[in-house]
């Protein structure tokens, strides 16, 4: 297998990955980030902390890839043998690096340790023939070797440290090596199925000739992911602008965000623009909507707060839902969800409220109201409306889908108000 132009191989080292105790999210991160700068990952290998396997894999990777990123095995315990093995493989030796030692010592001081554990002095030993990738967010230093036409990077397996080194060293280095640009852009839609979306847009190969478009369905809509190759960033942006114009003309009403922005981020920023406040009343979602909204930094400016009214008692006591309503129509009904939405709006004095009540499962379903039956209500100071959904997943899936659908309805309401 010959070397493809600037292809990459990722090697993850660690017993805990092979035995499934840790899910390997590092490889997904690296795959995504390398793709953004136009580098394709051809192979990914996970191996145990075994000298034999490490040497075998590096040897193989160097033969078939121009970029090799090795994660893991750099900690201070006896399991971690990556550094030692690399030193052996590249026939070099370990030397103490002054700057690295200062950094490691400073880190321990910062966290209030009087004395640094002996094993951590090793964290300042670096392979002599490598460039050092200093670690500002941990104690393990990274290494950058060059062997023939291949660049080899060894970074820690801790995701935050790996990411930091990628962002601050590897990416910058690789960018200088890549010719041309590869632009990834995403347009995120919601409230529309994949086939309807494409019916409205038309045939991809005609409409977006020369651009690669992937359509990625998710819980509450479809992401359109554009991959654009061009000589310059400017040229790539122009090509994308043309594609974006087409999408917005044909299905603009369903596009809620660009790139990685989440529905809750869009909702929070719309509320900020309008200078309006939101309150939530959740039964089956049990606080998940409130949790998603408060994951957005700055949400405190527009989020009054919410109630997780899991019991009928809570619905009555906190929101003033009528006992009669619960008795006649049930907790999962249009009438109840509307009273919940109105109740929390009054309690909070907010401008918008969203309320959810449903049967998350696995128990509690009936023939008339099967597991997954969910009512979502939205209230403003002048109106209240509710919609019924039946989600057919497990407990956590139903909670997630109900929360995302509630956010989508809220987004649609916020946008439609803008248009009036």
Question: Any idea what the Cα angle at residue 185 is, between residues 206 and 272, rounded to 5°?
Answer: 125
Check: CB of residue 68 under 8 Å from CB of residue 61: yes
Stretch of residues binding a second copy (CB under 8 A), selected from 81-89, 254-262, 303-311, 378-386 = 303-311
Q: Which of 67, 140, 60, 59 is nearest to 103 (CA)?
A: 140
Give least dist CB 297 to a second copy, A.
6
For a second copy, which is the closer residue by CB, 191 or 364? 364
Give least dist CB 131 to a second copy, A.
26
- The one among 305, 320, 330, 365 contacting a second copy by CB under 8 A: 305
Give least dist CB 10 to a second copy, A.
8
Measured between alpha carbons, how far is 337 from 343 in angstroms, rounded to an integer?
Answer: 10
Residue 185 binds to a second copy (criterion: CB under 8 A): no
Residue 401 binds to a second copy (criterion: CB under 8 A): no
Give least dist CB 46 to a second copy, A.
4
Residue 114 binds to a second copy (criterion: CB under 8 A): no
Stretch of residues binding a second copy (CB under 8 A), selected from 34-42, 81-89, 92-100, 406-414 = 34-42
Residue 362 binds to a second copy (criterion: CB under 8 A): yes
Residue 293 binds to a second copy (criterion: CB under 8 A): yes
Check: CB of residue 13 under 8 Å from CB of residue 73: yes
Check: CB of residue 281 under 8 Å from CB of residue 306: yes
Q: Which of 81, 211, 177, 74 is nearest to 132 (CA)?
A: 74
For a second copy, which is the closer residue by CB, 143 or 374? 374
Residue 35 binds to a second copy (criterion: CB under 8 A): yes
HSE-up of residue 40 (Cα within 13 Å, Cβ side): 7
Question: Using alpha carbons only, how large is the chain's radius of gyration in Å?
Answer: 27
Residue 67 binds to a second copy (criterion: CB under 8 A): no
Give least dist CB 252 to a second copy, A.
24
- Contacts with a second copy in 189-248 (CB under 8 A)? 214, 216, 225
Residue 264 binds to a second copy (criterion: CB under 8 A): no
- The one among 3, 6, 22, 412 contacting a second copy by CB under 8 A: 22
Give least dist CB 291 to a second copy, A.
4
Residue 30 binds to a second copy (criterion: CB under 8 A): yes
Give least dist CB 127 to a second copy, A.
25
For a second copy, which is the closer residue by CB, 101 or 137? 137
Residue 269 binds to a second copy (criterion: CB under 8 A): no
- The one among 109, 232, 273, 311 contacting a second copy by CB under 8 A: 311
For a second copy, which is the closer residue by CB, 150 or 280? 280
Check: CB of residue 182 under 8 Å from CB of residue 166: no
Give least dist CB 115 to a second copy, A.
14
Residue 27 binds to a second copy (criterion: CB under 8 A): yes
43 C-beta neighbours (distance < 10 Å), count: 16
- Contacts with a second copy in 43-62 (CB under 8 A)? 43-48, 52-53, 56
Round to the nearest angstrom and report the end-to-end CA distance of the chain: 61
- The one among 314, 329, 334, 365 contacting a second copy by CB under 8 A: 314
- The one among 295, 366, 416, 418 contacting a second copy by CB under 8 A: 295
Sign of CA dihedral 11, 13, 18, 23: negative
Q: In what order do the strands lie in the sheet with 181-189?
A: 212-218, 221-230, 181-189, 255-258
For the chain, give the longest Cα–Cα distance.
81
Residue 330 binds to a second copy (criterion: CB under 8 A): no
């Amino acid at each position: 297998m010959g070397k493809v132009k600037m292809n990459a191989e990722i090697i993850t080292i660690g017993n805990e990955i092979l035995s499934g105790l840790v899910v390997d999210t590092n490889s997904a991160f690296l795959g995504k980030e390398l793709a953004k700068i136009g580098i394709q990952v051809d192979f990914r290998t996970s191996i145990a902390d075994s000298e034999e396997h490490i040497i075998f894999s590096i040897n193989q990777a160097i033969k078939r890839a121009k970029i090799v990123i090795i994660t893991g095995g750099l900690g201070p315990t006896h399991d971690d043998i990556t550094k030692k093995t690399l030193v052996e493989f590249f026939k070099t030796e370990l030397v103490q690096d002054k700057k690295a030692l200062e950094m490691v010592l400073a880190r321990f001081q910062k966290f209030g340790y009087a004395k640094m554990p002996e094993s951590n002095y090793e964290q300042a030993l670096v392979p002599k023939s490598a460039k050092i990738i200093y670690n500002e967010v941990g104690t393990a230093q990274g290494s950058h070797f060059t062997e023939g036409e291949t660049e080899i990077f060894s970074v820690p397996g801790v995701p935050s440290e790996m990411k930091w080194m990628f962002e601050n060293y590897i990416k910058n280095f690789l960018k200088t090596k890549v010719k041309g640009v590869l632009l990834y852009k995403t347009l995120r839609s919601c409230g529309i199925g994949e086939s309807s979306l494409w019916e409205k847009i038309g045939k991809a190969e005609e409409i977006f000739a020369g651009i690669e478009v992937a359509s990625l369905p998710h819980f509450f809509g479809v992401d359109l992911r554009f991959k654009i190759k061009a000589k310059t960033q400017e040229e790539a942006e122009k090509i994308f602008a043309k594609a974006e114009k087409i999408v917005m003309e044909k299905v603009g009403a369903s596009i809620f965000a660009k790139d990685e922005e989440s529905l809750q981020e869009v909702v929070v920023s719309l509320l900020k623009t309008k200078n309006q406040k939101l309150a939530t009343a959740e039964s089956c979602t049990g606080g998940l909507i409130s949790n998603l909204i408060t994951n957005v930094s700055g949400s405190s400016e527009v989020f009054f707060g919410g109630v997780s009214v899991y019991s009928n008692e809570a619905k009555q006591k906190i929101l003033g839902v009528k006992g009669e309503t619960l008795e006649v129509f049930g907790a999962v009904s249009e009438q109840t969800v509307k009273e919940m939405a109105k109740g929390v709006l009054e309690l909070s004095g907010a401008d918008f409220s969203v309320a959810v009540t449903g049967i998350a499962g696995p128990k509690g379903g009936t023939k008339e109201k099967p597991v997954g039956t969910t009512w979502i209500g939205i209230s403003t100071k002048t109106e209240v409306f509710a919609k019924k959904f039946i989600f057919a997943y497990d407990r956590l899936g139903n909670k997630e889908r109900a929360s995302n659908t509630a956010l989508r309805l809220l987004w649609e309401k916020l946008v439609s108000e803008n248009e009036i």
